[in-house]
Each structure stands twice: as C-alpha cells, then as structure tokens.
Amino acid sequence: MNKKVWTKPKLIVLFKGK
C-alpha cells in the first residue's frame, strides 16, 4: 500500500468574529 506523505497537522481558524 502506498503511504501518504505526513505533514504537520494544523488547526486552522476559518472564521473569526462574533
């Protein structure tokens, strides 16, 4: 099975503000 390349997992803020 071909493995995918690992990249650093990131939490991304998609929308900021009330």
Partner 1 sequence: MKAKINLDATYVQSEDLVSREIEGELIIVPLVAGMGDMEDELFTLNETGRAVWAKLDGKKSLKTVAKELSAEFEAPPGEIERDVTGLAEELLKRKMIVKASKK
The greatest distance separating any two alpha carbons of the chain, rounded to the nearest whole angstrom, comes to 45
Amino acid symbol at 7? T
Amino acid symbol at 15? F
* Closest approach of partner 1 to the CB of residue 1, in Å: 8
* Closest approach of partner 1 to the CB of residue 2, in Å: 9
Amino acid symbol at 10? K
DSSP state of 2: P
Q: Interface mask (CB under 8 A) for partner 1, residues 1-18, using x and -? A: --xxxxxxxxxxxxxxxx
Residues found near partner 1 in the complex (CB under 8 A):
3-18
